[in-house]
A and B are shown apart, each in its own frame.
Chain A
Amino acid sequence: MKPDAEPGPRLETGSHGEGPSALPAPVIRARGLTYRYPTGERDVLQGIDLDVAPGEFLGVTGPSGAGKSTLCLCLKGLIPHSFAGTLGGSVIVNGLDTSATGPAQLAENVAMVFQDPESQIIGLTVAEDLAFGPENLTQPPDEIRARIPKLLETVGLAGFEARETYSLSGGQKQRVAIAAALMLEPSILILDEPTSELDPVGKGEVFRTVRRLREEAKVTVVMVEHEIEQLAEVADRIIVVDGGRIVADAPPRELFRDADLFHRTQGERLPQVAELLLALEREGLVTPADFTPREDEAVAVLSRLLERRPR
């Protein structure tokens, strides 16, 4: 059942249901999203409502099997275009209904990077892999070639055009995948656990790249990750998905105060500095205003604490 297409972006209410405001329209709006795989016995997504603002960096976390990857596939439009199964509710990206919009147009709006570095690289050389998407959309070769060097620079792989893809490290492959995803100039980039198969060096490379994308702020990013400490550093807002529903949705500084939530869902731990500051707060050594899930900020708070000499 395909929902009616939205009439187009307009001033929307904020995601907390306040009155109409001057906030920009969300680039992603999911309402009542449900989905069941063709052979599934239950709905993997059980009613997701989500708004993502333009330029926002949204982190997604939660236990395995919660539906995070399925959510990504729905936001990208691969569900329903490449997957059968039962989709309910709606997903609107950049004003386009994913069920009613063709894959070519969707590809120019939303791009996705998957978990396995090997099976998303298609080209035999780096340049060919980056060109794959634009070639599919019959873009002129000159334009495609012109865009490649700049994107390789963004991901820290300048000069890698002729390198054969099989010879790249995991971190390099994932960065090629990110560059390739950005070749179609989407306004939304979705990354589904891009570092889970990588070693720490590779993880660092990907997070550095993603951080740079955030600073350049030309893309809205949705990133599913288990690396909770690195995610806390880079996300504007994090949602926790469990059992096909969003069970928490807040900026890191608020989200990581809820230790009970993380114990319940068992999919994730808190960043260690968050856990530490909560423990110290319980003993009255720091205040809620001091709380932070980020490493540098936590060191500053603790330094101040230890410098004080109690009278």
Chain B
Amino acid sequence: MSAGDPLIEVEAVSYAYPEAAEPALRDVSLRVMPGEFLALVGQNGAGKTTLAKHFNGLILPARGSVRVAGQDTRAVATRRLAGIVGYCYQNPDHQIFSRTLRREVAFGPTNLGLPADQVARNVEEALRLVGLLEKADDYPFLLGRGERQRLAVASILAMGSRILVVDEPTTGLDLQGVRGIMTLLERWNRELGRTIVVITHDINVVAQYVPRTVVMAEGRVVADGPTRQALTDWAALEMADVKPPQVTRVARRLARYGIPPDVMTVDELAAAIRARLQSVSVSARREEA
């Protein structure tokens, strides 16, 4: 594959779970370039997780194709794809089973057949990156929820995969926990160049940290673009039953006063209001003059 090729290529994929009344994915196409950071949003049942599981071959498409790093997922075993796509499940307790953090993080890279010294290096680096290195020889079940979440992500990171899929990393976390994990993901994307796909319900997190958003509804992609654009595509959000952040909703309701609706943060809305008031006063002064 050359540098300009997509890392993940989903082409007209359809899929239905066995015994399900409705298809989970209908004719979905998606392209992810290396180094992108994107969010999959939508309600439960919209197909986000189903789509993400196609990336590492946990699910194979019924129709259409999925290519990861140039390889068709039907031709490669999941355990081989795990080296390219690291998939971190939502509940860290579905993964953790080892006696120490070190062993836990070593599980993935060991399964990939990496040599022992490489595994040890990856483990150290991953634990350092998530800020759990001092606890490397501790018992994982003594960690709090936020720390277990970081441990789960470190376990996937240590596999050295180019792509990280993280499923609902902020569930049950307080503000500090959310900030902790999202700044980690942001940093890995920026500094290490990892491609990151985050599946999440937390729209504020998406607005604040993630540059590209894919909105799904009933097995289809209804919006796909820069977050600012996707979260103001009202028709798509309506179809997906997704609410944009409060500031975005407020901005939309102030549209008739000339406030642009695509604000993603409080600062942006404050600036927009300020700008509007100034331009109004400027034009009022011009009228008087």
A–B in direct contact per CB < 8 Å:
yes
* Chain A residues in the interface with B (C-beta under 8 A): 62-65, 115, 169-170, 193, 196-197, 199-202, 226, 229, 266-269, 271-273, 275-276, 279-280, 283, 285, 295, 298-299, 302-303, 305-307, 309-311
Are B257 and A201 in contact, CB atoms less than 8 angstroms apart? no
For B204, the chain A residues whose CB sits under 8 A away are 272
A190 shortest CB reach to chain B, Å: 18
The reply to whether A285 and B273 contact each other, CB–CB distance below 8 Å, is yes
B174 touches A307 (CB 8 A): no
B266-281 at interface with A (beta carbon < 8 Å):
266-267, 269-270, 273-274, 276-277, 280-281
* Given A197-B172, A200-B201, A273-B43 contact (CB < 8 Å): no
Given the contacts A64-B146, A196-B171, A306-B273, A273 and B246 also touching, CB distance less than 8 Å? yes
Q: Decide if A63 touches B280 in the complex (CB within 8 Å).
A: no
**Given contact pairs A64-B146, A276-B247, A280-B270, A285 touches B174 in the complex (Cβ within 8 A):** no
Contact status A272-B246, CB under 8 Å: yes
Given A272-B247, A280-B270, A311-B284, A197–B171 Cβ distance below 8 Å? yes
Kindly provide the distance from the CB of A64 to the nearest chain B CB, expressed in whole angstroms. Answer: 4
B266 touching A199, Cβ below 8 Å: no
Q: Whole-angstrom distance between the alpha carbons of A15 and B281 in the complex? A: 47
Across the interface, do B175 and A303 meet the contact criterion of CB distance under 8 Å? no
Q: Which of B249, B253, B284 contacts A310 (CB 8 A)?
A: B284
Interface hub of A272, A302, A303 (most chain B Cβ within 10 A): A272
Number of interface residues of B (CB under 8 A): 39
Proximity string of chain B (231-274) to chain A, C-beta cutoff 8 Å, 1 when within and 0 when not: 00000000001110111011001100111000000110110011
Secondary structure of the B contact surface, majority rule: helix
Q: Once the chains bind, are B257 and A306 in contact (CB under 8 Å)?
A: yes
State in angstroms the CA–CA spacing of A200 and B203 once bound together: 10
Quick check: A63 and B174 within 8 Å, CB to CB? yes
The 7 lowest CB-CB distance pairs between A and B, nearest first, are A306-B257, A272-B246, A64-B174, A266-B176, A267-B174, A199-B44, A310-B281
Cβ contact within 8 Å between A285 and B144 = no
Distance of A280 Cα from B272 Cα, bound (Å): 11
Counting chain B CB atoms within 10 Å of each CB, which of A115, A196, A276 scores highest? Answer: A276
Cα distance A266–B280 in the bound complex, in angstroms: 38
Tell me if B112 counts as interface (CB < 8 A to partner A): no
B42: nearest residue on chain A (CB-CB)? Answer: A199
A305 touches B250 (CB 8 A): no
* Bound: A303/B253 CA distance, A: 9
> Given the complex of chains A and B, what is the CA–CA distance between A303 and B276 in angstroms?
12
16 further contact pairs, Cβ within 8 A, besides A200-B243, A267-B174: A63-B176, A65-B144, A266-B174, A269-B175, A272-B247, A276-B270, A280-B270, A299-B253, A302-B254, A303-B254, A306-B254, A306-B258, A306-B273, A306-B280, A309-B280, A309-B284
Interface residues in B116-149 by Cβ distance below 8 A to A read: 144-146
Q: How far is the CB of A174 from chain B (nearest CB, A)?
A: 14
19 contacts between A and B (CB under 8 A): A64-B144, A196-B172, A200-B241, A201-B44, A226-B174, A267-B174, A273-B246, A276-B266, A279-B266, A279-B267, A280-B270, A280-B273, A283-B274, A295-B249, A302-B273, A306-B259, A309-B280, A310-B281, A311-B284
When the two chains form their complex, are residues A307 and B269 in contact, meaning their CB atoms are under 8 A apart? no
A308 vs B177: C-alpha distance when bound (angstroms): 42
Check B12 for interface membership: any CB of A closer than 8 A.
no
Q: Which chain A positions have C-beta within 8 A of B146?
A: 64
- For B269, the closest partner residue in chain A by CB is A276
Nearest-Cβ distance from residue B105 to partner chain A, whole angstroms: 23
Q: Which A residues are in CB contact (< 8 Å) with B270?
A: 276, 279-280
Residues of the A chain whose Cβ atoms lie less than 8 Å from the Cβ of B242: 200
B250 touches A295 (CB 8 A): yes
- Interface assignment of B30: CB less than 8 Å from any CB of chain A: no
Query: Nearest chain-B residue to A298 (Cβ)?
Result: B250
Which one of A267, A299, A306 contacts B176 once the chains associate, using CB atoms below 8 Å? A267
Q: How far does the alpha carbon of A171 sit from the alpha carbon of B173 in the complex, in Å?
A: 19
Chain B: minimal CB distance from A134 (Å): 31
B201 partner, pick from A199, A267, A305, beta carbons under 8 A:
A199
Residue of A63, A199, A283 contacting most chain B CB atoms (<10 Å) = A199
User: What is the minimal beta-carbon distance from A195 to any residue of chain B, in angstroms?
Assistant: 10
Among B203, B246, B254, B257, chain A packs the most CB atoms within 10 A around the CB of B246
A201 nearest in chain B by CB position: B43
Name A62's closest neighbour in chain B (CB-CB).
B174
| Cβ contacts under 8 Å, A115 to chain B | 172
Partner of A285, one of B172, B201, B250, B277: B277
Chain B nearest CB from A240 CB (Å) reads 12
